[in-house]
Structure 1
Amino acid sequence: MSIFRKLGWYFKVQWRTYLFGLLGLLFTALLAIIPPRMIGVIVDLIHSHRLTVRLLVIDLLILFGAAIGQYGARYMWRTAIWGAAAKLEQTLRRRLFGHYMNMDQTFYQKYRTGDLMARATNDLQAIQRVAGGGILQFADSIITGGTTLIAMMTLVNWRLTLIAVLPFPLLAVMAFYLGQKINVAFRDSQAAFSRLNNKAQESISGVKVIKSLGQEQEDIDDFNQQVDQTINVNRRVNRLDAMFDPITTLIIALAYVATIVMGGSLVVDHVISIGNLVSFITYLSMMIWPIFAVGMLFNTMERGNASYDRVMHLINERSQVVDQSNGLTKRPSGDLQFNVESFHYPDDEQVTLQRVSFTIPAGKTLGIVGRVGAGKTTIMRLLLRQFEQYRGTISYGGTNILDYQLDAYLPAIGYVPQDSFLFSESVRDNIAFAKPEATQSEIEAVVAEAGLTEQIAQFEDGYDTLVGEEGVSLSGGQRQRLAIARALLIKPELLILDDALSAVDAETESKILNNLHGERAGKTTIIAAHRLSSVMQADEIIVLNHGTITERGNHAELMAQNGWYKQMFERQELEMKVRGSNVEK
């Protein structure tokens, strides 16, 4: 019964709705007592040769009235109980999705997408069944079973009733024993489903890589293996689940045997009439549902209990990024100062950044270069407040960025990573995602800045062209430029390009950078890149190596230092010349 206690917060809110539903169940059970009794009366009248047309019509009208009343009562409890269950599912879905949206990067590194989807679908449905079918099974087994037992004892014979219900305690023992085992088995089943969901999600997302490497059959074999594992886990659940019905049927059969033996002797001894025995057997048949409901109830509760724990485990996770409720609501602007003594990612003791310090005056451009894994993207993540557990201070406009509300701070930043996510919508909708009210002229302006105007003009449907899931119908360069246009649309105070021009050619890169330089006068820009031509025009360039700044200055100053920057720049220049000469040949 622990799942009912866990859902007590919801039942308190919806107690009126559930009370209305329980009254409907009570009316249904009370009206259900009438037909068996009337059937017994009719049998006795036939047996005693006293049945007349008038009495038959009266009895049939009573049966008809009871049926109409049951119809209304059933409608009453169905709309109330199932409606409340649907509201619970709605509440939990909104709560869980909102929680997903508020969680930080650490959360998404800890949980895989398939697992999160499984908890948002299968587990929520299992919880919803507790608030609907579980309440029905619990209440109806008590109400219908209780009213039927009272009718059997008062309207027929109490001794016969006691004999008939003697096997019922066996059901409680069986339900308790199997319920515990089903709880453990269902947890394993949900975990297996999550793993299978993860596999399917990754395979579909990575289908291009799988096909390009010719690994289709290997991936199919791996998927089939996980399917087999999931089925084997579910077989144990099904075996335990399948034991409820046979045991319940056996208990009912024992009750029927006791009824026929004892009831037959009572009829012979003239203690009860044949009509009473018929009514009793009909009442006993009405006990089948309450008995089955008890078995189903334990199954529903154990499944719901396991699912509720899995969902609440996620909801109880707390983001390490704290949004100050009383934080500043003004849009940040001014000089950006970055002074981090050290930072390491959660669950990783290795220091990622150490003694990194720089200042970007308002309206200036900073270039960040270095080898792969040098810490460039980590700086961007700290600026975006994806992680806040670092030693040091980052301030914007003289104010610590942690003192801003996220809703005020993040909209002032336009961030374009190397692999930008695109939605399965049109080109226009993807660009206008951060500013849905943007006009067509505004969209066209940022598209021109991103150097994508000619490309979109060549699309068959222009701005209405669907880009496909994650922009599958676009090239890498087109995706990057579309993401740049999306970032520029919000006119950010700070634009961060994290290797966001890696998929475009040098000529296109030069055009985009020139456009940005002209259109973003007075706005701050950070460009992290592997191709040094991207940062040549920056006011200052820092070189990172193992999370530490090893060189800094503008392009001319770095070339004069004769360090890593100069060596890499000359190497890339040589590669460009070699590539150009090969093209000429």
Structure 2
Amino acid sequence: MLKRFTNYYKPHKRIFFIDLFCALSIAIIDLLYPAFTRTILQDILPEGNLNSLFTLLALLLGLYIIRCFLDFVVLYWGHIMGVYMESDMRRDLFNHLQKLPFKFYDNNRTGELMSRVVNDLNEVSELAHHGPEDIFLSVVMLLGSFIYLVQVEWHLAVLIFCIMIPLILWFTITRRSSLGKSWATVRVKMGEINSSLENSIAGIRVARAFTNELFEKLRFNKSNNDFRGAKRGAYKSMAHFHVGVTFLMTLLNIVVLAVGGYMVFKESIDIPDLLAFMLYINLVIEPIKRFTGFTQQYEKGMAGFRRFCDIMDQEPDIIDRDDAIELINPKGNIELNNVTFSYDDENHILSDINLHIPSGKTVAIVGPTGAGKTTLCHLIPRFYEVNSGCVNIDGIDIRDTTLSSLRKSVGFVQQDVFLFTGTIKENILYGRPDATDSEIKEAALKAEIDDFITSLDNGYDTWIGEKGILLSGGQKQRLAIARAFLKNPPILILDEATSALDNQTERKIQKALEELSRGRTTLVIAHRLSTVRHADKIVVLTTDGIEDQGTHDELFDRDGLYRNLYNSQFV
């Protein structure tokens, strides 16, 4: 996992090495100050050499002016590198989400996924910047201090670096596991609270319609309290960690003062040497603080990165084969041969389905709720993979075609219309992003919605709110139909496409849909059987499979399920 994380440094290695070079220069300048102080106290002041004193002070001032510039580079460009890496990870995660099958989204909550894309990667950004820098600075400062202090008094240096500092590092490492578990729990609970919040806000109208505001408050409070409890546990672990580290670092100062004072008393070292030791101990404490801070940051960042990897490791099960071909200008001759499908590999929704949909014909699929009508249509553009059997278009198994060319050949108008937050024009344009304004208007005219759009103050640039909330159900449906007109695919699937329309509008749109269907293969899913009477073929689908098929007149004359369904709507 660490190797996977470090791979994100490669595109930004120039910034990375500049950052480390500046950090190294800062460490060297900081290491010089105690050495200069010892030289001034031990050599220059006793000799009364003012020229050397002012020369050394001027040099120190110049070095600290340079340090200010280096600090700026580290703080600014280091963080920029972290932001770039976070952006790269978020891009990769979003691109990967675009490839994952519908099955993945069926089993994961939207708020949880949003938390992984946004919140989890924030801490990763901080780790990406501060992690290598903190480790590098800690190592340089510790090595530089050790080398210098060994030359001053090696007994005291060994006591500090071979006993006290390893003790502090041991405590830091042993407490890391507890911190890691705590912050991993926080990430999980943050995902849950985001999911609860997204669900409550999206369903606010339903909640108010059922006067369930109190229920929503209680449900949100549970998620909120769980998150609060997780953070409380994380901060408790962090408090134990910091208290222990702070005590050990204070103990380090006391040990140096006690042992150093004893050595001064025994005349093993002089006071300038002890002062140099005390100054270097403060420098030693700084990298230890950095290391302990890195430990905490590492656990936070890696908790987020692990959740990032969890999704990235989800392999899409519907992908292009290596030798997949482009489906170019298909005629739309569809065949389902012995198709069996289930969502959970156990309970079959469709079993041994055999169906031929001739090119350019309109075929309606009717039947009771839960028979698998929509599922069957979702198999044609490979939204789901069949368990057995095959789906062919123009004699080609759709698994042998590229997903892009296949799905470009299929247009959808679904029962549950989804509109993107934005304008009317942007939503129609989604059918074909390179379409011209005149083509957009033509599609709207065919969908019987142009009059409504032009009556608005901002026309096609009218904002429709989140998921089209400012539009009526019928207006949403007609926008979806306009989107299908613009796409102009050879295969069209209408899943209850007129279900949200009133009778008058339905009659208008039905004529437009008939025009849209002409010359292309069309599958119509309908509960309102009056809309499919003129279909070339009607397929009656039940939980047992295809029970019957034929024209309206043929099925009606057979006195079967179709006739019963038809009579139940009109008698």
Both proteins in one fold, TM over 0.5: yes
Matches within 5 A, 1:296-375: 296-375=293-372
Whole-angstrom CA distance in 1 between matches of 2:17 and 2:472 = 59
**2-structure distance, mates of 1:184, 1:332:** 55
- Please tell me the residue identity of whatever aligns with 1:177: T
- Give the counterpart letter for 2:334 in structure 1: Q
Residue number in structure 2 paired with 1:159:
155
Q: Tell me how far apart the structure 1 counterparts of residues 360 and 93 of structure 2 sit (CA, whole Å).
A: 40
In structure 2, the partner of 1:397 is 394
1:482 aligns with 2:475: no
Q: How many residues align?
A: 570
3-state DSSP class of the match of 2:348?
Answer: coil
Give 3-state SS (helix, strand or coil) of 1:65's partner: helix
Tell me, yes or no, if the aligned pair for 1:340 and 1:354 is still in contact at 8 Å: no
CA distance in 2, matches of 1:536, 1:510: 14
The letter of the residue matching 1:130 is L
Q: How far apart are 1:269 and its partner, in Å? A: 4.2
Cα deviation, residue 22, structure 1:
2.8
- Post-superposition Cα deviations, 1:99-134, rounded to whole Å, max 9, x if no partner, equal 100111111112211221122123222333332221
1:31 paired to 2:29? yes
Per the alignment, residue 581 of structure 1 pairs with none
Q: TM-score, normalised by structure 1?
A: 0.92
Give, in angstroms, the shift of residue 446 of structure 1: 1.3
Counterpart contact for 1:320–1:387, Cα < 8 Å: no
Instruction: Indicate how the Cα distance of structure 1 residues 398 and 549 shifts in structure 2: closer, same or farther if over 3 A, else same.
Output: same
Structure 1 residue 142: deviation in Å? 0.7
Match of 2:233 in 1: 236
Once the two structures are overlaid, the 10-residue window that deviates more, 399-408 or 257-266, is 257-266
CA distance in 2, matches of 1:15, 1:123: 23
Deviates more, 1:57-66 or 1:70-79: 70-79
Task: Select between 160-169 and 536-545 the one with higher mean Cα deviation.
Answer: 160-169
Amino acid at match of 1:504: L
- Structure 1 CA distance for aligned equivalents of residues 196 and 327 of structure 2: 44
Q: Does the aligned pair in 2 maintain the 1:335–1:359 contact within 8 Å?
A: no
Rate the CA distance shift 1:510–1:433 in 2: closer, same or farther, 3 A. same
Q: How far is 1:458 from its partner?
A: 3.0
TM (norm. structure 2) is: 0.94
Indicate whether 1:431 and 2:431 are aligned. no
Match of 1:496 in 2: 493
Match of 2:127 in 1: 130
* Counterpart Cα distance in 2 of 1:389 and 1:562: 33
Tell whether the 8 Å contact from 1:34 to 1:66 is kept in structure 2 after alignment: no
Superposition deviation, residue 539 in structure 1: 0.9
The corresponding residue for 2:54 is 57
Could you tell me how far 1:11 is from its partner in structure 2? 4.9
Q: Is structure 2 residue 242 aligned with structure 1 residue 245?
A: yes
How far apart, CA to CA, are the structure 2 residues paired with 1:335 and 1:407? 16
Deviates more, 1:140-149 or 1:264-273: 264-273
Report the alpha carbon displacement of residue 286 of structure 1 after superposing the two structures with TM: 1.4
- Kept after mapping to 1: 8 A contact 2:339/2:391: no
2:19 — aligned with what?
Answer: 21
SS of equivalent to 2:342: coil
- Distance of aligned partners of 1:24 and 1:435 in 2 relative to their CA distance in 1, 3 Å threshold: same
Q: CA deviation at 1:359?
A: 2.2
- Deviation larger for 419-428 or 265-274: 265-274
- 1:170 is matched with 167
- Deviation of 1:319 after TM superposition, in Å, equals 1.6
With over 3 angstroms needed to count, the CA separation of the structure-2 counterparts of 1:191 and 1:367, relative to structure 1, is same
Give 1:406 deviation, angstroms.
1.0
Q: Aligned partners of 2:26 and 2:332: how far apart in 1?
A: 73
Change in Cα spacing, 1:274 to 1:109, as seen in structure 2 (3 Å) is same
Structure-2 residue corresponding to 1:286: 283
**What are structure 1's unaligned runs of at least 5 residues?**
575-585
The worse-fitting range, judged by mean Cα deviation, of 286-295 and 82-91 is: 82-91
Aligned to 2:144: 147
1:7 correspondence with 2:11: no
Relative distance call for 1:349 and 1:164 in structure 2 (3 A) is: closer
Question: What is the Cα deviation at residue 45 of structure 1?
Answer: 6.4
- Alpha-carbon distance in structure 2 between the residues aligned to 1:481 and 1:224: 39
In 2: Cα distance, 1:457 partner to 1:566 partner: 43
Task: Select which of 104, 110, 114 maps to 1:113.
Answer: 110
Q: Deviations over 1:43-75 (max 9, x none)?
A: 4468637253x3332122111122133234444
Aligned twin of 1:582: none
* Percentage of matched positions with identical amino acids: 30
Residues 58 and 270 from structure 1, CA distance in 2 versus in 1: closer, same or farther, beyond 3 angstroms?
Answer: farther
Aligned with 2:65: secondary structure?
Answer: helix
Q: CA deviation at 1:346?
A: 3.3
Q: Counterparts of 1:266 and 1:279 in 2: how far apart (Å)? A: 14
1:367 deviates by 1.0
* In 1, Cα distance between equivalents of 2:116 and 2:419: 25
1:171-199 CA-to-partner distances (Å, cap 9, x unmatched) read 12212221112222222221111111111
Residue identity in the other structure for 1:373:
G
> Match for residue 440 of structure 2?
443
Q: Give the aligned partner of residue 67 of structure 1.
A: 64
What corresponds to 2:454 in structure 1?
Answer: 457
Q: Is the 8 A contact 2:172 2:245 kept in 1?
A: no
Residue 405 of structure 2 corresponds to residue 408 of structure 1: yes
Q: Tell me, yes or no, if the aligned pair for 2:340 and 2:353 is still in contact at 8 Å.
A: no
Q: By how many angstroms is 1:573 displaced?
A: 2.6
Shift of 1:153: 2.5
Aligned counterparts of 1:115 and 1:215: Cα–Cα separation in 2: 23
Q: What letter matches 1:500 in structure 2?
A: A
Write the distance in 2 (CA, Å) between the matches of 1:453 and 1:14.
Answer: 50
